[in-house]
Structure 1
Amino acid sequence: MARTIVITSGKGGVGKSSISVNLACALANQDYRVCLVDADLGLKNLDVMMGLENRVIYDLKDVVDGRCTMDQVLIKDKRCASLYLIPACKTLQFGDFNLEYMQTLVDHFKHQFDYILIDSPAGIEKGFQYAANCADEAIVVVNLDLASIRDCDRVVGLLMKKGIGNISMIVNRLNEDYIQNKTSLTLRDATEILSLPLLGIVYEDAHMIAANNRGVPVYFDDRSILRECFCRIARRLNGENVNYTVSRKKTFLQKLFQK
């Protein structure tokens, strides 16, 4: 039975979809069967970020309209044999997609995969509600700025109201220099405000932008520290007691938690 996890954020632009794609790749490369669901209807980004846009034959709208079966909508990843994507559709609106159907779709795949990761729309609107209702766990993605964390706090409250108790946090685009210069909040600030366990950290790195533009997840870039970030996040998600990824500044990781 799959662990069904919604990946969400309080606001757009924090890198939530990049986290979803690369965490899915990391889990698949640890021999887990992973289904990544692009639930951000109207945007349709994940297939492009994974370099799969030319392989999309059917999408969620085709399933809703009965033009294909649920199994036919799955796209197998080019690089990970155990990773599949369910692509969104730019023309499908949430008014055309009821909650029961979304739940049926997720339930259909629960016995085929170890993980179902649902990339949710940011914020607290209808799309988030649909995605969260289908999940048993949640990962919230934040940046170390007050607006991101405050908006995320509202999302955490809604997740708890839906009965999702297993909620963890990934801090994305962490910049050591900003923390040292006190122009950024710290990891301790984020954990104290949100009262959530820290699943992992992802450093700010230009390789992420380049990877997204190439349609090749940064997980596959051995030059970037981000590969190790996602490997460790995947291992921690599976209950392993591993440290957070060590910064390029080897003595700096402990200082990140300081005020």
Structure 2
Amino acid sequence: AMQGYRVVLVDADIGLRNLDVVLGLENRIVYDMVDVAHGRCRLRQALIRDRRFENLYLLPAAQTKDKTAINPEQVKELCEQLKEESDFVILDCPAGIEQGFRNAIAGADKAIVVTTPEVSAVRDADRIIGLLEASEIRNPVLVLNRIRTKMVKAGDMLDVDDVIEHLAIDLLGIVPDDESIIVSTNKGEPAVLNSYSKAGEAYRNISRRIAGEEVPLMNLDNGGGFIGRVRRLLGLRTG
């Protein structure tokens, strides 16, 4: 949205919505996606425009319903309507592989798998990738979140190279662990607005790559070590 694209964020986590809080929009919700799916309002009535970004909208999840309040066909129909007037429709998929997951991926053409460099998280990501491919969502890409360079160097956290090799999917971006994210979330302010946040910079870079730009990976350790190896692996320049 900062680049001028019309973007709609869809919170697909029925019953446990949180995108509204992260964006600071929780007090502006009147209708949600379940209301739209059941004909209680028009889609346009449920969309909330972010006042900081002219082209950013949120379709909130229902807070008092459960995942069975909507089905995959209804989610797909909502997304088809949103695609007609948007450059990007981004669905925030709930954790797990149950009904909420099946609902969310029904409306998706592509997938971004977000995980952390921990053994259990990588194993879960591998399972998710298999389910995505079984649902004919091909070539998912990876965002590796909350990287702690010192722990990686000490051998206490998985190396990015090892995660990529295990999951066998393309790397879209890396995000360093950053305490400012907690502050931004609690304030309801997107981290991308914080020019001093390394994680915010990483998110901005990821969004530019999604839009088709060639953006080098963030230099977390001055080009050496595991990030340097990832750069060489992907043929990316340093800096």
Instruction: Return the TM-score normalized by structure 2.
Output: 0.92
Q: Which residue of 2 aligns with 1:147?
A: 120
Q: Which residue of 2 aligns with 1:3?
A: none
2:2/2:53 contact within 8 Å kept: yes
Q: Which residue of 2 aligns with 1:250?
A: 222
Q: Deviations over 1:60-89 (max 9, x none)?
A: 232234321111110001211100000011
More RCO (CA 8 Å, sep 6+): 1
Matched, 1:163 2:131: no
Compute the displacement of 1:233 (Å): 0.8
> After superposition, where does 1:1-259 map in structure 2 within 5 Å?
28-247=1-220, 249-252=221-224, 253-254=227-228
Give the direction of change, closer, same or farther, for the CA distance of 1:207–1:256 in structure 2 (3 Å limit): farther
Tell me the secondary structure at the aligned position of residue 204 of structure 2. helix
Compute the displacement of 1:237 (Å): 1.7
Compute the displacement of 1:44 (Å): 1.1
Q: Deviations over 1:116-152 (max 9, x none)?
A: 0000111211110111121110000010011000111
Q: Which residue of 1 aligns with 2:235?
A: none
Q: Deviations over 1:142-188 (max 9, x none)?
A: 10011000111011001001111131000000100110110000101
Superposition RMSD on alpha carbons, in Å?
1.5
Q: Deviations over 1:97-131 (max 9, x none)?
A: 12221111111111110100000111211110111
**CA–CA distance in 2 between the matches of 1:126 and 1:144?**
26
1:170/1:201 contact within 8 Å kept: yes
Tell me the secondary structure at the aligned position of residue 242 of structure 1. coil
Percent of paired sites with the same residue: 40
Q: Deviations over 1:209-236 (max 9, x none)?
A: 1100111011111111122211211122
Compute the displacement of 1:257 (Å): 7.7
2:139/2:169 contact within 8 Å kept: no
**CA–CA distance in 2 between the matches of 1:236 and 1:224?**
19
Query: Any gaps of 5 or more consecutive residues in structure 1?
Result: 1-27
Which letter maps to 1:231? Answer: R
Which letter maps to 2:187? Answer: R
Tell me the secondary structure at the aligned position of residue 166 of structure 1. coil
**CA–CA distance in 1 between the matches of 2:38 and 2:122?**
38
Give the direction of change, closer, same or farther, for the CA distance of 1:255–1:100 in structure 2 (3 Å limit): closer
